[in-house]
Structure 1
Amino acid sequence: MMNIPCLYAIVRFCPFLETEEFANAGIIMIAPEHGFFAYKLITRRHARVTNFFEQLDGAVFKTAMQNLKEEFERAGAMLRQHGIDRKYQLSDTEFAKSVFAEIVRPREAVIKFSKIRGVLADDPAAKLEDLYGYYVERDFVTKEYREAVLERTMRRWIFDAGMANKFGRIEIGNEEYHATFPFVEQNGTELVQVVKPLNLAQDQPSKILDHGGQWLFRIQTLQRKRLLPTRVLFAVEGPDGQGPRQQAYADIVGNLRDSGATVHSYSEKEQIMRFVQDRGTVGSS
């Protein structure tokens, strides 16, 4: 093991200085004694970030990332001139550390950085990928964790609409079969409507089909046993881009709608809240 000492910082997108909320958007790393300087920024799936800041124009994030990339490229060129890549005999590790510290210094801007952190790595490039996966892609997040986040956000929407006392987490069914929904409205003992945030953004088509199919089975079984109200809404978060994952997502959404459930993208907050507040309209979209 080489145990190369590396310094890194997390790139944070913070568009609203008043609230100090941020989303991790990249990693920048340097190993000056090893001649390594690199970074990785979000270049796709940026909807996850822009959807978090609902009032923000998505172009702001794209522009900020492009400007940051150019800044990093200029810093990399400067470091190479001073021998960071060991092509010259002028390598100055202290200079490299000072440049890195200047890049990630605290600033009043939409881009901020975490404190500089240290880590030992056999392969700095591989470690950069690992850190990006953990802090930006959130590899540790399970579908259950993500759905808990979606539920918390939706609970805030319902609270802000003055309807918090109308919905509860309830187990629907009987001794033979039952399932728990996070948002259930009742009128006495009668079920009025159920709402379920659903994460279908898994990294493999089979996982999307498995998780979506599980909920499809649940509602079909409850419907068959006449245990479910007619008003059922799934607020679904899906994958970005095209390809097999998108096809798997489309299949599940189509099957849910065929079952009689209403399905909206989780990003469609207005449509979701309109469904929740308007009990007179039943159907799918």
Structure 2
Amino acid sequence: MKNLVRYSVIRFMPFTETQEFANVGIVIHAPQTGSVLFKLANKRFGRVSQFFDDLDGQLYSNAIEMFHFELKRIQDFAKGMRGKDLAGFMDEVTRQREGFLTFSETAALLTNESFELVLEKLFEQYVGRSFNTKEHRETLLVQNLKKQLDGITRYKFTKSKLNADYVSFELPLVATDRVTTKAIKPLSFYQDKPLKLLDHGEFWISRVKHLLNSNTLDASDFLFAIDRPEYNDKNLKAAFNSIEDEMNSLGVNVYDVHDLRNIEKFARFESENVDNFKLIH
């Protein structure tokens, strides 16, 4: 006989303004049996600090410790509840609230496996693999490029918001020498569907168009750093080629993320070139 299991993913979201989050736990409940189980990532979870590079590590550690005690309290309180009573109680527990740790929407599955095994499988699915996403890949690309560029230009590339007439948005790598502003956007194209790939590329192409049309940036001062796999699927390859053509049509720089020679050349400012300075007697 299969049992109904309802579950929510626990998310760590320290910066509400960006809406970026990392999956750090699972809570499940079985209305028929009254079981409530949960599992959280360790307090020392290195991938969280890698994902949120500007985060105070103690913030996550303290938050996950307090959440563990809160879930234990909820687990104890739910003892004896069954059916609609338990489902209603857990719906209230997992509803959206402000805070560093939040819950996803509740999902459900039917299983004849033990609840402990279900919990382990869900934890592995959502937490163990939660960083294998284009968002995480792009975060790592930004970190790696920033370290590389910090060594070749005295104008630091940092996260910054740019204004384009009636809109403004944030880019991960922006630097200025007060005469020229340069921006770099790494893009990962590891999507598994052509439409997802197109949506991701066109989202950023549209934003860059706003920057160029408002004269916020010159096309020569913007760079797309592209992370692409070798596509085995002809439709994925065609979708990427279409996006790459659109990027090039903007007149901006488009380099492979591993083409460090050209990326470093782009990142240097004219004002850093000693040949541009003449001694005045």
| Structure 1 length-normalised TM | 0.51
Q: Residue type of the partner of 1:16?
A: F
Aligned partners of 1:134 and 1:140 also within 8 Å: no
Per the alignment, residue 130 of structure 1 pairs with 121
Q: Residues 23 and 35 (structure 1 numbering): CA distance in 2 closer, same or farther, change over 3 Å?
A: same
Give the Cα–Cα distance (whole angstroms) in 1 for the partners of residues 138 and 15 of structure 2.
24
Q: Structure 1 residues 166, 109: closer, same or farther in 2, change over 3 A? A: closer
The alignment-based identity, stated in percent, is 27
How far apart, CA to CA, are the structure 2 residues paired with 1:7 and 1:184? Answer: 48
1:63-212 pair list within 5 angstroms: 63-80=62-79, 82=80, 91-123=81-113, 124-138=115-129, 141=132, 150-151=140-141, 154=144, 159-161=173-175, 162=182, 164=184, 182-186=258-262
Q: CA deviation at 1:192?
A: 8.2
SS at match of 2:95: coil
SS at match of 2:128: coil
Amino acid aligned to 1:111 = L
How many residue pairs get aligned? The number is: 175
Question: For 1:21, what is the secondary structure of its paired residue?
Answer: coil
Counterpart-to-counterpart distance in 1, 2:4 and 2:183: 53
Q: CA deviation at 1:3?
A: 2.0
Which letter maps to 1:59? Q
Aligned to 2:25: 26
Q: List gaps (5 residues or longer) in structure 1.
A: 83-90, 171-179, 194-272, 279-285
Shift of 1:159: 4.0
State how far apart, in whole Å, the 1-side matches of 2:226 and 2:92 are: 49
1:169 & 1:125 partners in 2: Cα distance? Answer: 42
**CA–CA distance in 2 between the matches of 1:154 and 1:48?**
15
The equivalent residue for 1:39 is 38
Tell me the TM-score normalised to structure 2 length: 0.51
Task: Give the 3-state SS of the residue equivalent to 1:34 in structure 2.
Answer: coil
Deviation of residue 54 (structure 1)? Answer: 2.1
C-alpha change, 1:32 and 1:24, in structure 2 (3 Å) is same
Task: Measure how far apart 1:92 and its partner are.
Answer: 3.1
Change (3 A) 1:78 1:63: same
* Alpha carbons 1:4, 1:121 under 8 Å: kept: yes
Classify 1:169/1:139 alpha carbon distance in 2 versus 1 (closer, same or farther; 3 Å): closer
Distance 1:110 1:59 in 2: 13
Tell me how far 1:96 sits from its aligned partner: 1.2
Query: Partners of 1:150 and 1:117 in 2: how far apart?
Result: 30
Q: CA deviation at 1:109?
A: 1.0
The 3 A distance-change label for structure 1 pair 141 and 7 is same
Q: 2:12: which partner in 1?
A: 13
**Structure 2: tracts of 5 or more residues without a match:** 147-157, 159-171, 176-181, 185-220, 228-255, 273-281
The answer on whether the counterparts of 1:8 and 1:28 sit within 8 Å (CA) in structure 2 is yes
